[in-house]
Structures are given as C-alpha cells and as structure tokens.
Structure 1
C-alpha cells in the first residue's frame, strides 16, 4: 500500500470516527432535551397537584367555617331581644305581623318568641347503642328505602361517642357529601 492510500484510509477512519462521535453527541443532546422536557412536565404536574390540593383544603376550610357560622346564626336566631327585633322590624306591628303573634309590647313579643323557640328545641339524648336498622320485610327494604322519612341505624360505640345525636350525624354526612361532590366536580 502506498503512503498516499494509507493516509487516505487513515483520514477516512478519522472522518468516520468523528461522524460517530458527532452522532453520539447529538443523541445525548436529544436525550438530554427529552429528559429536560419530561422533568419540566413532571414538575408542572406536581405544581398542579399541589395547587389542586391547596384549593381543596381551602374549600373544605371554607365549608367548615360556613357551617360553623350557619350553626352560630341558627342558635342566635333562636334568641330574640328587644334590640334585635327593633333592628329587624321598625315597628311592633310589622314584627307581630311577621311572626303572626299577638303582643302588647316589644318585651312581650320577645318573651313569646323565646318561649316558642325553646319549646321547639327538645333535649337530645345520647343515641342508644342498640339502635338497629328496622324493617318488617327486609326483602322489600331497598325498594321502600326511598319512601322512608327517617331511618334508624345502629351506631358502633366509638362512633356514638363522637356523634351525640342524629342531627350531628346528619350534618357530618351532608358535609361529606358536599366535599365529595365538589371534589368530583374539580376532577371532571
């Protein structure tokens, strides 16, 4: 082999080797770009999850605060004072017409309203631990369930300790329903 052909072959090998190195470098660059894009997408998804989680927590906190405020307002609505009645209704006649109660003064109206609201509130007793789901015909229970006005349910001892009455259980279940509905709305 001549020197010229040997140097040409060496140059060609170097060119092939250089091409291979450039190809490897380009592939590494492309893979790095893909990894950067994937990492960016993962971080974006994590940020979105965090934002949704924060929003859900804020909504739950807002719902709890709203429930507490409503409950406080309900208890405050049951207690009438002369000042509250005067603020709400400018005249005794308007107040009497609104409540459809006969009274000779603001004081007597407040007393009558407070007496009637205290009669509506019945003392709540602790639930009986032996309360059971009652139905004469268990076969038709599922069909009849929609027609029931109330339903007696057995509460385990640990649950009964936390929920002193049916109103507390119902409020907790309604809250859970609202959270579930809002969460499913956010996910759809």
Structure 2
C-alpha cells in the first residue's frame, strides 16, 4: 500500500462511522418523537378521565341534593302531591314505573301513594320482632292492603347500621338505580 491510500481508507472509515452515528441519532430522535406523542396522548386521556370524573361527581352531587330536597319536601308534608311528583319524574309513565302502580293520571297516582303512605306508617309504627339480621334470607310476601308484591330482605348487621328502616333502604336503592341508569343512558 502506498502512503496516499492509507489516509483515504481512514477517511472512508471515519465517514462510514459518522454516517452510522447520524443514523443512530436520527433513530433516537424518531423514537423520542414517538415517545413524546405517546406521552401527550396519555396526558390527554388522563385529562379527559379527570374531566369525566369531575362531571360524574357533579351529577351525583346534584342527584343527592335533588333527592334531599325532595325528601325534605315530602317529609315536611308527609304526603305526595302532583307538583312534587312532577318535579321528581319527567312523565307520568316514569312515575308509574318507579312506583310500580297502574294509574291514569297524576291525581290518581297521588291518591294511591298517599293511601299507601298512611298504611305504611301504621305498619312501620308496630314493633317488629323479625329484625333478626344474622341470616341473608330473602322471601316474597303479599301485603293484604295492596296487590303489589313485596320483598322481605334481612340485612347484614353492617348494612343495617347504615339503613335504619325499609324507607332508607328503598331510597338508597332508588338513588343507585337513577345513577346507574343515567350513566348507562349517557354512555349510549
């Protein structure tokens, strides 16, 4: 080999090494760009989740406030009236489904509910010896003053602490039904 060819070979080797380093640097830059885009998408999704969470919390708070206001109105009067029911339900059909009653007008619904409320109050004021809460039994029974099938449920002690009577259990379950049905309809 002559003296001129040696430096040219070294120059070519350095040029190839430089090209390889540039190629690696380009790939690293592309990977960094991909990671930045992925991180941006993840942060965007997290922001959307936080926004949805806040909206859901606000909806639940609104439902609870509405229920508390309605319960306050009903408990103050101890009777139902057309205005209260119209505030709670969009249509007579919704109210009929909620209470599982067959009626043809708001007035007849109010009459049936108030009649049932006065009978329920009398029954609930009687001492109840069947409040044994150790077993998880469920049985169906017919109430003589109504043709509506009732369900007797024995609560576990920890649940019974939170729900002192059947009215509290029913209101809790109705609230849960409204929240889940509202969320189900919002997702469709």
TM-score by length of 1: 0.64
Aligned to 2:138: 133
How many residues are aligned here? 142
Task: Indicate yes or no: 2:18 matched with 1:18.
Answer: yes
The 8 Å contact of residues 140 and 151 in structure 2, kept in 1 or not, is answered as no
Whole-angstrom distance in 1 between the partners of 2:68 and 2:151: 26
The structure-2 alpha-carbon separation of the partners of 1:8 and 1:61, relative to structure 1 and needing over 3 Å to count, comes to same
Task: Indicate yes or no: 2:25 matched with 1:40.
Answer: no
The 8 Å contact of residues 129 and 156 in structure 1, kept in 2 or not, is answered as no
Q: Which runs of 4+ in 1 moved over 6 A?
A: none
Q: What is the CA RMSD across the aligned residues, in angstroms?
A: 3.0
Larger Rg, first or second structure (1 or 2):
1
Task: Indicate yes or no: 2:121 matched with 1:122.
Answer: yes
Task: Indicate yes or no: 2:13 matched with 1:8.
Answer: no
1:2-55 CA-to-partner distances (Å, cap 9, x unmatched) read 122112211111110110010011011001101101111111111111111111
The 8 Å contact of residues 60 and 179 in structure 1, kept in 2 or not, is answered as yes
In structure 1, runs of 5+ residues without a counterpart are: 80-98, 100-115, 137-146
In structure 2, runs of 5+ residues without a counterpart are: 80-106, 108-113, 142-146
SS of 1:134's equivalent in the other structure is: strand
Shift of 1:165: 1.7
Shift of 1:182: 2.9
Equivalent positions of 1:99-118 (< 5 A) are none
Whole-angstrom distance in 2 between the partners of 1:69 and 1:156: 29
More strand by share: 2
Aligned to 1:52: 52
TM-score by length of 2: 0.64
Which structure has more relative contact order (CA 8 Å, sep 6+)? It is 1
Aligned to 1:175: 175
